[in-house]
Chains A and B, each alone.
Chain A
Amino acid sequence: MPKHETPLLDQLESGAWPSFVADLKRQAGSRQQKQNEIEFQIPVDVVDDLLGLLELSYVEKEVHWKHGGIVGVFGYGGGVIGRYCDQPEKFPGVAHFHTMRVNQPAGKYYKTDYLRQLCDLWDFRGSGLTNMHGSTGDIVLLGTTTPQLEEIFYELTHKMDQDLGGSGSNLRTPAACLGESRCEWACYDTQELCYQMTMEYQDELHRPAFPYKFKFKFDGCPNGCVASIARADMSFIGTWRDDIRIDQEAVAAYVGGEIKPNGGAHAGKDWGPFDIQKEVIDLCPTKCMWMEGGKLNINDRECTRCMHCINVMPRALRIGNDRGLSILCGAKAPILDGAQLGSLLVPFMKVDESYDGVKEVIENIWDWWMEEGKNRERLGETMKRQGFQKLLEVTGIDPDPRHVSEPRHNPYIFWKEEEVPGGFERDINDYRSRHPK
């Protein structure tokens, strides 16, 4: 028997898509069943009470979690999100319902023994509810009590060699696409760079010293599978600067209909025979491709590496060999000054094993933003307030037409005194000697 009636939530058990309500009920039932085997360290009915509380929100259409809650583990300023319910008498199982963020392995690959160990720990010391994964990328362990936080952290670090992720005004847990592990388009090793930067900046990740949150995301190519350009303060997006490699035989096979375009992504509908002119050449944003004598030609100097032709013909076209990454800055969600996409700062950088080039850009930006950024101001907003020129200045990067989609619309240039001959200090008497009042 369920502890609380949930007539509204019950209606979300039907329908084909995996039901989170069914999942919650299953979890609640399993805790009831196992209470004699497992010495649960938080209330057995935590999930029952979560269902009850959620049902109340479905009835009233209002949230029942209190504002915030400062809890954490000793010495860290992030990794735990405190949560208290505003109906603790009715739902004591979720009176405390804190979340822990666990730093995921880059690319989110797992062995089952590792995850099983995590499940055992979380069943024992938490609600057993998870997100695989949270939006930023962490493994999210949803719902435990304050006394368990240190115990969980101790077990994670001592038995699982595993640290927490970030929350609050710090470096948030970096995330990467799966990169070279299983993708032919990765222009650098996203997983390794993600891991290296996570390790390099552990202090910034665990001990908030920033004006606001700061995100790194690592996309292996311009397709952008981790959406870095939309949501990371610094986006690292793979690219190349030589020629797209062409296999003319494979091009002919696509043209002849032997290979399905776009890796078979459109197989569910009859779009007619493949037409390379219409589907590739005419859709190229820079119109830098043409067919001649049955061969595909690309004027690579004009190519902007948008990935379309490569996506359509993965067996015929491959990314170039001179690979590296572009760095874009300032992407963020709307709160507060409106959403921003990342703006290009470093058009191209090789990634070497010292990672010195990447680190230099990161640290120059942090030095500036930590000094100048206001409370709760994301990097993109500081950039808007102080101007892109300032970002170039602090990173020591020379201005380049690649930095803009077009030059400025107004002549309101903030000339610096040293740029103008004779400086700004002038003598009014000297002026009046030529221009009497």
Chain B
Amino acid sequence: MAFISSGYNPDKPMEDRITDIGPRHYSEFLPPVIKNNKGKWLWHEILEPGVLMHKAESGDEVYTVRCGSPRLMGTETLREALEIADKHCDGYLRFTTRNNIEFMVDSKDKVQPLKDDLQSRKHEGGSYKFPVGGTGAGLTNIVHTQGWIHCHTPASDASGTVKVVMDELFEEFQQMRFPAQLRISMACCLNMCGAVHCSDIAILGYHRKPPIIDHKEVENLCEIPLAVAACPTAAIRPAKTTITDDRTGEEKTVKTVAIKNERCMFCGNCYTMCPALPLTDAEGDGLVIMAGGKVSNRISEPKFSKVVVAFIPNETPRWPSLAKCMRQLVDAYVKGAKKYERFGDWAERIGWERFFEVTGLEFTHHLIDDFRDPAYYTWRQTTNFKF
């Protein structure tokens, strides 16, 4: 493996340096039918699951075939998507915010061959490479974070949990028989780089044990005042302790921190500030399920997802309890909701007391908010409730 230079000269980093040029302008990448009709679209229609048609004032039509992708994709699969785009779409494609791939063609007769091509491609293990679907009142792709693949604070894996849930609900990706669209999201810790807190159903990795204090390292790795300040519940204070030096065997007093366990809410913010306070733990870590959030302003205001299951263990590799829980939630929603009713609107209409009954989920003390002022607004201040 010989090192091959790009032309960059490490001795003169500023030589020929190009910076602050930003992204490529999107107009370079728009297919002609899109470019010609930008800002002049009239209406659209979903012709079948995964296939959209947009009509322009000019009379032009663009047909979009949407398919799922695992967010984690190697260049081999990506190149295969590019081949498909070259073959059917004159070398253009796009990706959606929810990690779907969209292939666009400018006439209806090009749709079926494209769709057949996408549906025919499978991995050796049997999974689709590019399953067509993800439109309308159905299930679309799950947005998710890195998990054990690349993150340093996860309480679960993202790719694995998503694969399991999408397998469990796969036919709904290729159907449109839900009352409204269902948006599922997954974040492997509450930093939520995927901002899953306003999803119809959110899967969230969570720790349940306070940090382990690496007394030998706190002073070396951390600014103790920052670690103390990082704690939202003031559970961390500066402390001193005696340790045995690994090399000399001598006892010595070192600066460290002490943690009031009963105050810890396991957010991991201290670990972000101080690497000597790891939280990850096989038994402690797992998943929280939240439901009933949305970002759209349609009919009702955007709203947060609510915690409906306090804990599901990390049952690798296929998380059966998670899959079962998702099935329970989806089945109850599909059975009970009215046309156009999002998951959260349905839960609010029937009332959360009824929600736990029809989903078969257990209501435990963990589900009552006790974090700061907003908690009060979630308690019931009325005698109006259902038996």
Q: Measuring CB to CB, which residues of chain A are less than 8 angstroms from any residue of chain B?
A: 8-9, 11-24, 26-27, 30, 39-41, 43-44, 47, 50, 54, 57-68, 74-76, 81, 83, 97, 99, 103-116, 119, 122-123, 128-137, 142-143, 147, 150-155, 157-158, 160-163, 175, 177-178, 180-184, 186, 189, 191, 195, 198-199, 202-203, 206, 222-231, 260, 262-269, 271, 279, 283, 285, 304-308, 311-312, 314-315, 318, 332-339, 341, 375-376
- Residues on B with beta carbons closer than 8 Å to the beta carbon of A184: 41-44, 54
Does A8 lie within 8 Å of B317, measured CB to CB?
A: yes
Q: Which of A133, A202, A335 contacts B267 (CB 8 A)?
A: A335
A87-B89 Cα distance, complex, nearest whole Å: 44
Residue of A nearest to B7 (CB): A154
Q: How far is the CB of A85 from chain B (nearest CB, A)?
A: 10
Report yes or no: A67 in contact with B275, Cβ–Cβ below 8 A.
yes
25 contacts between A and B (CB under 8 A): A18-B131, A19-B125, A20-B159, A64-B148, A68-B152, A75-B13, A106-B26, A111-B91, A116-B79, A122-B75, A123-B75, A132-B71, A135-B145, A142-B149, A150-B6, A162-B21, A163-B22, A181-B26, A264-B136, A267-B48, A279-B339, A333-B190, A333-B195, A334-B192, A338-B371
Contact A18 B123 (CB under 8 A): yes
Is the contact region of chain B dominated by helix, strand, or loop, or is it mixed?
loop
Contacting residue for A17 out of B8, B91, B152, B166, CB 8 A: B166
B385 near A: Cβ within 8 Å?
Answer: no
In the complex, what residues of A have CB within 8 A of residue B31's CB?
109
Contacts of B96 in A (CB 8 A): 108
Q: Using Cβ atoms and an 8 Å threshold, which residues of chain A touch B159?
A: 20
B129: chain A residues at CB < 8 Å are 18
Scoring B residues 28 to 55 as 1 if CB is less than 8 Å from chain A, else 0, what string do you get?
1111001000110111111111000010
Question: What's the least CB distance linking A124 to chain B, in Å?
Answer: 8
Residues of A within 8 A of B198 (CB): 227, 229-230, 339, 341
Contact between chains at B148 and A76 (CB < 8 Å): no
Q: Which residues of B in the span 88-127 have a Cβ within 8 Å of any Cβ on A? A: 91-97, 99, 101, 104, 123-127
Nearest 3 CB-CB pairs, A to B?
A: A13-B125, A27-B74, A265-B136
Q: Which of these, B26, B47, B195, contacts A227 with CB under 8 Å?
A: B195
Give CA–CA (A76, B19) in the complex, Å: 9
Of B169-177, B239-247, B250-258, B350-358, the segment with at least 4 beta carbons within 8 Å of chain A is B169-177
- CB B186 to nearest CB in A, in angstroms, measures 10
Q: Is the CB of B128 within 8 A of A18?
A: yes
Residue of A nearest to B21 (CB): A163
Whether A130 pairs with B73 at a CB distance below 8 angstroms is yes
Q: Contacts A67-B271, A223-B296, A337-B232 known; A262 to B136 CB distance under 8 Å? A: yes
Chain B nearest CB from A140 CB (Å) reads 9
Q: Is the CB of B191 within 8 A of A335?
A: yes
